[in-house]
Every structure is written in structure tokens, then in C-alpha cells.
Amino acid sequence: ARPSRPGREVPFRPWSSRDAHVMLQLKRTSEVVRGPRVKQLFDASLQAGKAARDPTRLPEIIPLKQYGTDGRYATSAPTHLTEAAVAAATKIAIVPAVERCEAKLMAMDSSDAISGLRSRVEEVLQGAGLSSELDKDVGLVVRRLLHRP
């Protein structure tokens, strides 16, 4: 269900040409988006969508193929087949993609924090008349401290 329309279910249609078009638009958007964090989100969405539509990774979608056509006379897949495919897609495709995306975003945040700390340490060392660039021992200690978990 969508948050904006809680009473309306969103069907999982891995064989739908309309849904394939949405994936194509997502890919095109991902190619031109600016900013590493936004790009990461788009790429993770694209990876999850591709994995959820791949019958080699998700054989549970194969029985849905006969119901995948769009159009006026298309029939809906039985609920038990759709629910099984959704559960498998969530477990195999979506959750891992979200976890990888979260880890990469956290790494980006950590990288920014470490860079900020490194410049502050440089300022403090210069104020004390030291330089981590000139004194290899000081520089090594600083890098070790900044990269601790």
C-alpha cells in the first residue's frame, strides 16, 4: 500500500511492460543525477528493481509471467503467487540493496567526518608548532586515532 493511498494496494508486476518503462526512466535519471548521495539512492533503487525482475535470481516470479501483460483484457495473478513473489523479492532483492545503500551512505558520512577531524587536528598541531606532515610519528598517531572504530 502507498502511504498517500493506504486503501489501494500496489501490484507487483515483474513482467509488466509499463513497469519496465519505469525502470528505464529510473536508469536514465540515475545517469544524469548530481550529487553522490542522491546517485547512490537512485543506483540502489535500480539494483533492487533489476534484481526483483530477474527470474534467475528470483524464480518465484516465473509463475507470474502469464499474468504480466498489460491491457484491457489482462487477468490478475492469484494472490498467493503474488504474495510469494513479493516476499521473495523483498528478502532477496530489496532488503540487501537497502542495506548496501545504507552502508555506503554511512561510509560517505564517515569519510566527511574524518576529513573534517583531520583538518581540525592539523590546525591544532600548527597552533602548537607541530605539523603532522613534517613529523611522521605525529601524522601516524593522528591517522590511527581518526580511523578507529
Residues 83-133 pLDDT 10s: 999 999 999 999 999 999 999 998 888 877 777 777 777 777 677 776 655
| DSSP class of 63 | G
Please list, in sequence order, all residues whose beta carbon lies within 8 angstroms of the beta carbon of residue 1, skipping any fewer than 6 positions away: 7, 8, 9, 10
Instruction: For 6-55, write each residue's pLDDT tens digit.
Output: 777 767 888 888 888 888 888 898 889 888 889 999 999 999 999 999 99
Exposed / middle / buried, residue 4 (Cβ in 10 Å: 0-12, 13-18, 19+): exposed
What is the pTM for the complete model shown?
0.68
